[in-house]
Amino acid sequence: MNTNFKKDVDLGLSASSKTLPSKYFYDKIGDALFVEIMNMPEYYLTKAEFDIFKNQNQELIKALQLKSSTFFELVELGAGDGTKTKQLLKALDNLNYDFEYLPIDISEHALHNLETSVKAELPNVTISPKQGDYFNVLAHLKTSEHPLIVLFLGSNIGNLPDALAKEFIQKLNDNLKIGDRVLLGVDLIKSKDIVLPAYNDAQGITKRFNMNLLTRINTELGADFDLNGFDHIPEYTEEEGIARSFLVSNTDQTVTISSLNKSFHFTEGEKIHTETSRKYNDHILEDILGQSSLKVINRLTDSKNLFADYILEKKPL
């Protein structure tokens, strides 16, 4: 039994405003559902950033101020399947840039698949996967004499509340040398008619993705959640710029989790907050960068202006 999962579920459902951490979406079923989500017509995020990497890779190379004569280490935080990054790797390889690709992920399975595909598709690219915590790996790389380019894509930073996003940026800043650069992908603030369908699609894939969290708790922790007793409802306003996903109890009910030897009562309409997805503009990002030494030096957007890849550089204080 995953003791962290058990502890986090207990903590989240015991809170006055109930929550479940979004990181637990990703079991085998959740992984497969998220692949479906990325292919949904409503889910613009992946397509928009892929548009930048596929159609503006020369501009990305220029914005990152890379020199073909200078060896650098290209680090990716949470690399996944590397679909977008391979577009950049291909462009760098074609132009004979001298670099090593170091994808970091907690999933050994994901890293193995990525390494296999990169070696097959781009045999000239040197890849050195690193399994573990982002900052533990970066701390070791900080001693490198070579320039670091860090990729943090997919608006993953948007899953953090602003206060935690600031902490993340500060930790990233602390693990970089002066002159190192970051490519930070963020979803831009836009109207709710574009944003909400990405989290509540017509086929119900995002609903199944959220509901799978309750199925996991039933299966792994011995709970008796009735999935028909909950609805999936996302919320978003353009003014605030934050999409939130909730599982909402549609009746008064009590759920027992046998592994915790506890029961949790839900009133009709009571929400479980499952995910946050912050959207950005220049002002919000500057606030998140805060007092760190990371400064915006460039910005690229997709053809529809839905998504932005910001280039940050660590500057001297």
Domain boundaries, the chain: 3-42+192-278, 44-190+280-314
Instruction: Name the nearest CA neighbour of 312 among 207, 178, 113.
Output: 178
Confidence of residue 184 (pLDDT cuts 50, 70, 90): very high
Distance CA 137, CA 105 (A): 10
Q: What pTM was computed for the model?
A: 0.91
Going by their DSSP bridges, the two strands 271-278 and 242-249 should be labelled as antiparallel
Give the CATH superfamily of 44-190+280-314.
Answer: Vaccinia Virus protein VP39 (3.40.50.150)
Per-residue model confidence as pLDDT tens digits over 3-40 = 889 999 999 999 999 999 998 998 889 888 988 998 99
The SS3 call for residue 88 is helix
In terms of C-beta density within 10 A (0-12 exposed, 13-18 middle, 19 or more buried), how is residue 220 classed?
middle
Per-residue model confidence as pLDDT tens digits over 57-98 = 999 999 999 999 999 999 999 888 899 999 999 999 999 999
**Neighbouring-strand partners of residue 77:** 104
pLDDT value of position 138: 86
Give the DSSP letter of residue 34.
Answer: H
| Of 246 and 111, more confident | 246
